Structure formats: C-alpha cells, structure tokens
A and B are shown apart, each in its own frame.
Chain A
Amino acid sequence: MLIKMNNVFKTYVLGEVKVPALHAISLNLEDNEYVAIMGPSGSGKSTLMNIMGCLDTPTTGTYYLGRKDVSSLNDNQLSDIRNTKIGFVFQTFNLLPRSSALRNVELPLIYSGMPSLKRKQLAMDVLERVGLNDRMMHKSNELSGGERQRVAIARALVNKPSLILADEPTGNLDSKTGEEIIEIMQRLHEHGNTIILVTHEEYIAKQTKRIIRLRDGVIESDEKKI
C-alpha cells in the first residue's frame, strides 16, 4: 500500500471564517496506480494533492505514505520526503526562467546532495526520456509551453519518486500539446510509475485506470477500471 488516508479533514482558517476544503476523505492507493482526480473548481482537488505530496498536513485524520505517518513529521522530514519520494508537475510549470532546462532538472538532486557529475548525467538521461535531448542547454523561458511542461516532468522524475503528482498539467497547454503530455504520463505509468493527475477533461481521465470525483471536499465517486 502506497497511500492510506483515513478520515482526513482539512480546514483553512481565514481570520474568523473557517473554510472547509476536505471532509472525511478516506482513500487507499497501491503502487503503480494511474489515477485521475476530477471535480469542479474549489472542490478540494489541489488541497488533496498538496496533502498527498506532503506540502501540507491534514487538520485531522491520518495519512500514511508508505509506512510513514506524515502527520507526525517535522518540516525537515517533510522536505526530505518531497525530495526523495514525490515528483510534482504543476499547471504553471514553475521552472526557474533564466536557468537552463538541465539546471532545472538538476535542482531536486542538488538538495539531496548528489555530486555534480552524477547529477548532470541523471538529469540528461531523464531529459532524453521526455524527448528534449536537443533542448538541454536552452533557458526555460526560451522553450515552448509543451517543452516547459516536459522539463517539469523530467524534474519530477529525476529523483525516481514513488509518486508523481500532476495538478492540471495540461491546463495551460493547447489540446494537441496536452495530449503529448498525457502520452508521456501514459508511458511513465507503463514503466511502473505511480501517477495521480488532476484534470477537467473527461477524455484524459478515460485514459487512466481510476477516477476519483470530488465535490465540496467529499469523495463523490471512486471508480476503478478493470
């Protein structure tokens, strides 16, 4: 079991007002699953992704990632988990604009303290896997949207994570480029990666093996394809 969530609540406090974002979420996930999370805007998809990615912790409830109880970890330990177990792909790419593609992909490995040479080699391998062999030295602000998102995927892959989290990875891309990105996701899944992606597109969700629908912070449905 990779993920085991039990009765997770997340409530944001904005001054006097309490904004409930997640409500009694219980959820299990095995290794090598390929999951789409769907739901209207504001339904809590990003909040759930953030908790699964150890960017945030539940207000109440338990979350086990592998054998680790995430709610008991301190800030440094959470950073370590994000660094070694999680790969994020964001809607807005979040690359360092003036750094090269290679440098962007190296970044997680810098924080894990990998020596420069080994790090570069690994980063180049991953960039090759997402089809950017000839773009490695380009600054990320010189790349197209699709290329940027591929750099971001390479960055998410480079630390060989147990879990890849993609929050609306195609949201800022035209549909053709979006499809290319989803193809890469598909391939990664076939190579054994565990992937959770948030999407609004039914046709994208259909390509995954499991669709979780959220509404107002509650799991509305959870269908697995056999």
Chain B
Amino acid sequence: MSTENKYPMMQISFVLNGKACGTTIEPRELLIDVLREKFQLTGTKRSCDVQVCGACTVLVDGLPVSSCSTLAAEVDARDVQSIEGLSQHGQLDPIQRAFVEHGAMQCGFCTPGMVLAVKSLLAQDPHPNEETIRHYLRGNICRCTGYVKIIEAINDLASRHG
C-alpha cells in the first residue's frame, strides 16, 4: 500500500485558546488529532468517534462541535477553545469551580466536553431551567452516570445573579 500523499496540503490559521496560531495539514486531518498531537492539548478526549458521546467537544466560534468528526480545515480563520483555554491566570473558570464544588465528576473522561458544552449553553442563556440544561446536554454522555451532581452544579451556576 502506498502511503505517498498525492493530494495538496493546506495551510490553516486560527485562534486557539486566545492565541493566533497556524499549521499545515492534510485535508483529511481531524480537529481532534491536530489539537492532541500537533498542539499537545490532550484534554480533548476521543471516545465514540461518531458524534454521540461528547467527550471530544471543543468550541468553535463559541459553539460546541465534535472534534473527532470535524475536519481541521474547517477551523481556518475561526476561534477554537479547548478545555485548556478555560482557566485564566491560573484561576479556574466558574464552571470548572462549580464542577469541583459539587463533585460533578468521577473518572473525569467526559468532564472536558461536559464543561465546554455548559460554557456554550450559559453564554447563550445564563439562567437555563433544568429542562433546558438536560436537553442541551443530551449528547454528552457520562458513563460513570454521575449526572445528578453535574445537573446540580449547572443548576447552581444558572441560579447565580449577574
């Protein structure tokens, strides 16, 4: 089998966790591999590989996408946020803090995707009710089934003023 690449490579530049960056990719490369291997950002987890589980969720222009099924070429000229970009100056994001305070994680594998999905939800709707929270997170699966604590953490965030 030939491994020679006869297809043209592509240059992409994008903002990653607040910093401008660029790289050269094959058109078929997936965002998750570029994040994990080229940028060493291994907080983004691969699991189902078919957009069902949510473990690989990152935000592109503030909206959640499955990085396992998104071509890296798609993020050219866009803004990408992975879990590593959430804390500021060594301080956890309020969502991360709420997850810690409520013990909203067990093995932690789904947590990066879960936290980023919540980030996007609260940016659109700072005070969602529980039905909205459950609907939005339908595609983020926690195989430890730690949902009660996760919902508690988000309810807490949603009930805060400001």
Do A and B come from the same complex? no
By a beta-carbon cutoff of 8 Å, the part of chain B in contact with chain A is none
By a beta-carbon cutoff of 8 Å, the part of chain A in contact with chain B is none
